[in-house]
Amino acid sequence: MTRLLGWLAGTLFLLVLAAGGLLLAALDSTPLVERSETISQAAVNQARWLFHTNDPRRLQSGEARRTAIPAALIDEGINYLAGRSLHGRGALVLGEETAEIRVSRRLPWLPGEPYLNLRATFREGNGEPKIVAAAIGWLPIPPGLLEFALASAIQAAGYGPEWRLARQAVRQLIFDPQHRRVVVAYVWEPALLDRARSIAFQPDDLVRIRSAQESLAALLDHHAPGRPVPLTDVLRPLLDIDGADQRENRRAALLVLGIYLAEKNIASLIPEARNWPQLRPVALMLAGRNDSAQSFADLAADRAGTRFGELLSRADGRLDALVDTSFSDSDLIPPIGDLPESISTAEFRRRFGNTGSPAYRQLTAEIERRLDALPLYKPE
């Protein structure tokens, strides 16, 4: 019996060594996915449209729905998650009846700093989405093994019930590469929204968000309803927070401020907020404006807001330096007076065609160039 156990242990050890050797051999010197982590304004707009057309607050339990999700939105979402959770890069590639998720992660602790390139292929069809093929580099791996590893990682992170609910809600996937979209048929389950809220807002988060709401309410109470108020007058005191959880407090402040600027009710996300101090309606001004007309000036303001949020997310020291000064609009947003304003849909189509046209890309690139020129957002 001792010899048998020793033989089994030796065989298992050799198998582990062989598997490790195969995995090392499957690593690549170049990444399969190479891109920045930035989320485009187009993706933000698509997400807004998707939420508006599938607002979970208006759905009934058991209601069957079908929605078309832009592939670019999923692609940027995968890349964002890969960057945040794996410090890598990700992408979505649509094919005929299939979709492939690609993830690249540099391994700096190994000689030569190779890349782990992972590919997982899904096939369209009825029922829950399932992986039908997977590979690390040139090495194919069993799809079931990757499914198990993914489910185990999600379970270990504490999101197992939410993951199962989301998968069970999906009834059909259709990949449409011609129109660059993924059509999803699903059955709405209200528990999904409750679970999403519980994930998004932990008890400590709710304390911070309520504190931010109270702070903003106190700042606005000094002004008459409808009065123009410079955004910088409330932004600096909201962000001037010390303590070990400074970044989390600042994120809560930006969340409350963003919901207020969007003219939404925070109680739609956090029901108990109905009992919190209500915010007085004033006109918060940035660069002399507070409208949301269809214009490239508004796009520049949105992109500046995105850049500002990214500084906070990575705890950039430039944000601390800004809060320590009496900053102005020109520190937050570049000159926008010469950008096209109040464009009707017909005029937009005549001048730019669509958001993928060279004329549109040229103007959005100019906005990004102006943002790069500001000390606060200058690439390092």
User: What pLDDT, in 10s, does the model give residues 76-115?
Assistant: 888 888 887 788 999 999 988 999 999 999 988 888 888 9
**pLDDT score of 198 more than 50:** yes
Quick one: pLDDT at residue 17?
Answer: 42
353 and 225 together in one domain: yes
215 and 191 together in one domain: no
Quick one: pLDDT at residue 268?
Answer: 79
179 and 287 together in one domain: no
Do the domain assignments include residue 18? no
The stretch 323-339 carries a mean pLDDT of: 88
113 and 251 together in one domain: no
Give the range of the structural domain holding residue 186, as residue numbers without chain letter: 26-198
Rg of the chain taking only CA atoms, in angstroms: 24
**pLDDT score of 270 more than 70:** yes
Taking the C-alpha atoms of residue 69 and residue 46, their distance in angstroms, rounded to an integer, is 8
152 and 69 together in one domain: yes
**pLDDT score of 21 more than 70:** no
Least confident of 41-55, 231-245, 267-281, 324-338: 41-55
Per the model's pLDDT, the better-predicted residue between 276 and 288 turns out to be 276
Quick one: pLDDT at residue 265?
Answer: 86
Do the domain assignments include residue 322? yes
Residue with tokens 């995105």: 306
Structural domain tally of the chain?
Answer: 2
Do the domain assignments include residue 6? no
Helix axes 246-261, 203-220, angle to 10 degrees: 60
232 and 367 together in one domain: yes
228 and 106 together in one domain: no
Quick one: pLDDT at residue 41?
Answer: 63
Cβ burial 308-347 (10 Å sphere, 16+ → b, else e): beebbeeebeebeebbeeeeeeeebbbebeebeeebeeee
Q: Which residues does residue 106 pair with via DSSP β-bridges, in sequence order?
A: 115
169 and 316 together in one domain: no
Quick one: pLDDT at residue 193?
Answer: 72
Quick one: pLDDT at residue 16?
Answer: 43
Taking the C-alpha atoms of residue 239 and residue 212, their distance in angstroms, rounded to an integer, is 9
Q: Which residues 6+ apart lie within 8 Å of 259 measured at CB? A: 265, 266, 269
62 and 139 together in one domain: yes
134 and 255 together in one domain: no
Do the domain assignments include residue 9? no
pTM of the model: 0.62
Least confident of 77-86, 155-164, 176-185, 313-322: 155-164
Domain boundary among 198, 218, 234: 198
In the predicted model, what is the mean pLDDT of the chain? 82
185 and 269 together in one domain: no
pLDDT-derived band at 272, boundaries 50, 70, 90: confident
- Amino acid 135 reads A
Contact 89, 104 (CB under 8 A): yes
170 and 222 together in one domain: no
Residue with tokens 């197992």: 160
Domain boundary among 176, 198, 220: 198
